[in-house]
Amino acid sequence: MGTPVNIIVGSHVWVEDPDIAWVDGEVTKIKGDEVEVQASNGKKIVAKLKSIYPKDEDAPAGGVDDMTKLSYLHEPGVLQNLATRYQLNEIYTYTGGILIAINPFQRLPHLYDTHMMEQYKGAPFGELSPHVFAIADMAYRAMINEGKSNSILVSGESGAGKTETTKMLMRYLAYLGGRKGTEGRTVEQQVLESNPVLEAFGNAKTVRNNNSSRFGKFVEIQFDKQGRISGAAIRTYLLERSRVCQVSDPERNYHCFYLLCAAPQEEVEKYKLGNPKTFHYLNQSNCYELVGVSDAHDYLATRRAMDIVGISQKEQDAIFRVVASILHIGNIEFTKGKEIDSSVLKNDQSKFHLKIAAELLMCDPVALEDALLKRVMVTPEEVIKRSLDPDGALVSRDGLAKTVYSRLFDWLVDKINVSIGQDPNSKCLIGVLDIYGFESFKSNSFEQFCINFTNEKLQQHFNQHVFKMEQEEYTREEIDWSYIEFVDNQDVLDLIEKKPGGIVALLDEACMFPKSTHETFSQKLYQTFKSHKRFIKPKLSRTDFTIAHYAGEVLYQSDQFLDKNKDYVVPEHQDLLSASKCSFVSGLFPPVPEETTKSSNKSSKFSSIGSRFKVQLQQLMDTLNSTEPHYIRCVKPNNLLKPAILRMSISCSNYVVGVLEAIRISCAGYPTRKTFYEFLHRFGLLAPEVLEGNNDEKAACQKILEKMGLAGAQSGKTKVFLRAGQMAELDARRALKLSNAAKTIQRKVRTHIARRHFLALQKAAICMQSACRGRLACKLFDNLKREAASLKIQTNLRGYLARKNYSQLKYSVVVLQTGMRAMAAHGQFRYRKQTKAATIIQRFFILQETRMGINLDTMQRREVVARKAASETENGTRF
Ligand SMILES: Nc1ncnc2c1ncn2[C@@H]1O[C@H](COP(=O)(O)OP(=O)(O)OP(=O)(O)O)[C@@H](O)[C@H]1O
């Protein structure tokens, strides 16, 4: 995985985040083996140096369509690439030849239409975008060209889209190998229509998937020489039997029970059914309906599909009779009987359901009751009938229901196989494996043990294949790979399946030994594997055990291991049903061969599910080993089952665990490979001198590798192969070089900017200064002007005032003078007038006197008086 080396302050890295698994950020501080990272989500994270990973800053924004093109092959890089592509609705991505398919949780019809099929038909692998059709096409072409069988292994956790992917593969193979215009039921049609039938009986709603396959499936499609489908076979693995009797909320039982309850009224009445809520096997959960799914519609669709795969009406009727009988069996209840440890039917309801169940199974109701309540013990002396207590009767009832259902399912698979038909002359086949992925829950039982065992087996196959592919590439590129280690999980497989001494063998031993309990079994495990590095005994438990699987540690609870491993049909149930008047039901329980009966002493017949499964698995592996495998890893992007959300949660990491396993294998060799051009483009700057006048790319790359002193790195024919961590080392040096160059550029730019800033500042200062000075001068000038103006105004005003005063004075003087003069003139005038008047008067008087004889004396006196008056007047005026 490439432990981070050469992380420096400023490096862009991925660091673990408890909420979103991985977050990118920049290293801000390194102290010993601890680093401080400023994450892009704003958090400051302190982490161990060895737990952070370098981030490729040069990665394309839209991600890469092949993960091997990533510069850093590590978990966060892989998840980031998938997330980026998923946001763009690119649900498929390659990792070399492996296809990763992320469940879109929405219909994308354009991705799967006939036009798309035409596009991928015969297109060279890798030329078009990653697609499930490209994988199917590659398998088909390889089969036709090399005459070799191929297989496509689809894996992933529940709800990741395995079944949908398998359907697409089968549709595409039917398109490639189908016969045009054939009438009636063609093989490919039957293969495709087998899906709805198997889904109705083998799928159920779980918390993780509304249509979860509760079995593993390997479909073999056989082809003739012309590449046409000539036959097919379906193999199924490990149906979840416990679901028939036990359903937890909000899950559902198998779809077929609900479909039958929603069948047309006459059929519901025929099977004495009704509301699913009235049946114990269905009403343990409150979930009866699925959003967007019509059980009534699906019932008819299942019937149609049954017609197509060749199940006759009579058989269909018998199948649904058996399904209905299981529901009625589930409603039979027990209570304590009169005798100790015995039981009887609880009430009339129970009697009614027992009667109906017997009718539907066409067996004797009394025999059915006996089979549920009693056990036959064969001793050397006699045959004893022992009663079961109510709890034992319940176990017996549920055992019967589970056995009948699993036999029914097996019958369906066989029937489909027979009716599709095998082609004995076929040399080539394409197998499609749709099998449960690795499981680790809070509580893990025998089912999870078997599932994880399967995944270990497949993982080994995968490792070997990826390793082989790696080796092929190294050989093609002519590089030395002799020292590359093979990553293997053989030790876990030995722990589980080794004979003798493996867990499965010890479990079988425990099951065969009557006094064994899960405690004794667990103690045996603890003893046997106390120093096994893949086996861990939890400190606080006396019965649990942990296995360190390739995908992580899983804690198993061993309490039901023994019961679940025992695979035997209670002889009483076997006898009852093989005696059924219905040939279909009796056919489900063919008589047990005499030898087995004898050797098992009838009551102690034992066969182990674990061992049987191990054999089945080995057969599957043998088949797969004889084919050229192709892998599709389905990834569930979120647990909300909603589109467009890819949560990079810790659990999400598990989804790509298989892919990471491939990466780990690559890491054992040369995880990073770059074409010469890419290498020079990226690292040419580390030794620019080698590029000058050199046209030999390989030689240039070689020189760079030598200059960098990278031990182990090799140049192939077209690519440079780097060992784990070397890419990071080169990148670190490149980053250092770039950072030094950046520092020089920064320095120069900063100087330039500072100078430019200074000059601008200086210019601005001068400009401001001159403006200020100008302004000040203007102000001064203005003041001077004002001063001058005010002086002028003052002068004028003063002048004016002076003139005004003077004028007023002058005027007053003139007025005064005028008045005086006027007075004087008046006086003079009056005097003259008086004088004149006096003269006149005098003259008059004189004249009078003269006339009248007035003496002269008087006249003189009068004249003197007149003159005196005149001179007084004149003096007065002058004053
Ligand atoms: N390619 C796809 N396009 C659209 N929807 C899809 C696609 N793949 C999966 N889905 C959706 O996801 C659901 C779960 O897918 P599917 O049943 O194939 O999962 P699975 O891996 O087979 O699960 P299980 O192991 O529980 O059977 C489907 O019912 C469908 O709604």
- 164 alpha carbon to ligand 1 midpoint, in Å? 5
Answer yes or no: is the C-beta of 155 below 6 A from any ligand 1 atom.
Answer: no
Answer yes or no: is the C-beta of 25 below 6 A from any ligand 1 atom.
Answer: no
How distant, in Å, are the alpha carbons of 31, 325, 364 from that of 359? 79, 8, 8
- Indicate which residue's Cα is closest to atom 25 of ligand 1: 158
Residue 849 is assigned to a structural domain of this protein: yes
Domain that holds residue 31: 1-55
pLDDT of residue 283: 95
Cis peptide before 500 (omega within 30 of 0): yes
Question: And the tokens for 52?
Answer: 């952070």
pLDDT of residue 691: 80
Answer yes or no: is the C-beta of 669 below 6 A from any ligand 1 atom.
Answer: no
Cα angle vertex 450, ends 447, 452, to 5°?
105
Q: 565: which residues sit within 8 A by CB, 6+ positions away?
A: 446, 507, 508, 511, 608, 609, 610
Residue 186 is assigned to a structural domain of this protein: no
Residue 40 is assigned to a structural domain of this protein: yes
Answer yes or no: is the C-beta of 198 below 6 A from any ligand 1 atom.
Answer: no
- Tell me the average confidence (pLDDT) per consecutive run of 10 residues in the chain, 879 residues long: 63 83 87 89 87 85 86 82 89 87 90 94 90 95 90 88 93 84 70 92 92 92 90 91 90 96 94 94 94 94 92 95 96 90 90 96 94 83 83 91 95 93 88 86 88 88 80 82 72 89 90 85 90 89 88 88 82 91 94 56 61 89 90 83 64 56 66 84 87 82 87 86 79 84 92 93 91 91 90 87 84 81 75 73 70 61 70 53
DSSP 8-state class, residue 515: T
CB 470 within 8 A of CB 446: no
Answer yes or no: is the C-beta of 162 below 6 A from any ligand 1 atom.
Answer: yes
Answer yes or no: is the C-beta of 108 below 6 A from any ligand 1 atom.
Answer: yes
Question: And the tokens for 802?
Answer: 């002076």
**H-only helix segments in 541-593:** 561-565, 571-578, 583-588
| CA 250 from centre of chain | 24
pLDDT of residue 57: 82
Answer yes or no: is the C-beta of 161 below 6 A from any ligand 1 atom.
Answer: yes
Quick one: which atom of ligand 1 is closest to the CA of 203? 27
**H-only helix segments in 626-725:** 650-655, 657-668, 676-683, 688-691, 697-708
Residue 636, CA atoms < 13 Å, CB-side half-sphere: 22
- 103 alpha carbon to ligand 1 midpoint, in Å? 7
Annotated binding site for ATP: 156-163
Maximum pairwise Cα distance, the chain: 227
Q: Which residue has the tokens 């082609």?
A: 423
Quick one: which atom of ligand 1 is closest to the CA of 437? 25
Question: And the tokens for 417?
Answer: 């196989």
Q: How far apart are CA 632 and CA 94, in angstroms?
A: 9
DSSP 152-183: EEEE-STTSSHHHHHHHHHHHHHHHHPPTT--
Q: Which of 169, 209, 215 to mutate to test the pocket of ligand 1 (most atoms within 8 A of CB)?
A: 209
Q: How far apart are CA 398 and CA 392, in angstroms?
A: 10
- Indicate which residue's Cα is closest to atom 28 of ligand 1: 161
- 160 alpha carbon to ligand 1 midpoint, in Å? 6
CATH number of the domain that residue 44 is part of = 2.30.30.140
- 106 alpha carbon to ligand 1 midpoint, in Å? 10
Q: Which of 92, 112, 164, 298 to mutate to test the pocket of ligand 1 (most atoms within 8 A of CB)?
A: 164
DSSP 708-741: HT-TT-EE-SSEEEE-TTHHHHHHHHHHHHHHHH
Bridge partners, 261 (sequence order): none
Q: Is residue 47 classed as helix, strand or coil in its secondary structure? A: strand
Whose CA is closest to 206, among 248, 246, 251, 257? 251
CB atoms inside a 10 Å sphere around CB 310: 17
Annotated binding site: 156-163
Whose CA is closest to 453, among 497, 511, 403? 497
pLDDT of residue 647: 64
Answer yes or no: is the C-beta of 105 below 6 A from any ligand 1 atom.
Answer: yes
Q: How many domains does the chain have?
A: 2
Answer yes or no: is the C-beta of 110 below 6 A from any ligand 1 atom.
Answer: no
Whose CA is closest to 372, among 325, 320, 318, 324? 325
Question: And the tokens for 235?
Answer: 């193999």
Residue 94 is assigned to a structural domain of this protein: no
CB 670 within 8 A of CB 721: yes
Q: Which residue has the tokens 């994450």?
A: 39
Residue 812 is assigned to a structural domain of this protein: yes
pLDDT of residue 874: 55
Q: Which of 103, 167, 251, 435 to mutate to test the pocket of ligand 1 (most atoms within 8 A of CB)?
A: 103
Answer yes or no: is the C-beta of 156 below 6 A from any ligand 1 atom.
Answer: yes
CB 548 within 8 A of CB 569: no
Quick one: which atom of ligand 1 is closest to the CA of 101? 1
- 310 alpha carbon to ligand 1 midpoint, in Å? 27
Residue 748 is assigned to a structural domain of this protein: yes
Quick one: which atom of ligand 1 is closest to the CA of 641? 12
Whose CA is closest to 602, among 364, 375, 370? 375
Residue 716 is assigned to a structural domain of this protein: no
- Number of alpha helices (DSSP H) and beta strands (DSSP E) in the chain: 29, 24
Q: How far apart are CA 123 and CA 100, in angstroms?
A: 19
With 0.90 as the threshold, say if the pTM is over it.
no
Q: What amino acid positions are annotated as catalytic residues? A: 158-159, 163, 209, 212-213, 437, 439
Residue 650, CA atoms < 13 Å, CB-side half-sphere: 5
229-237 and 383-387 beta bridge pairing: unpaired
Quick one: which atom of ligand 1 is closest to the CA of 209? 26
Question: And the tokens for 700?
Answer: 């240039």
Residue 832 is assigned to a structural domain of this protein: yes
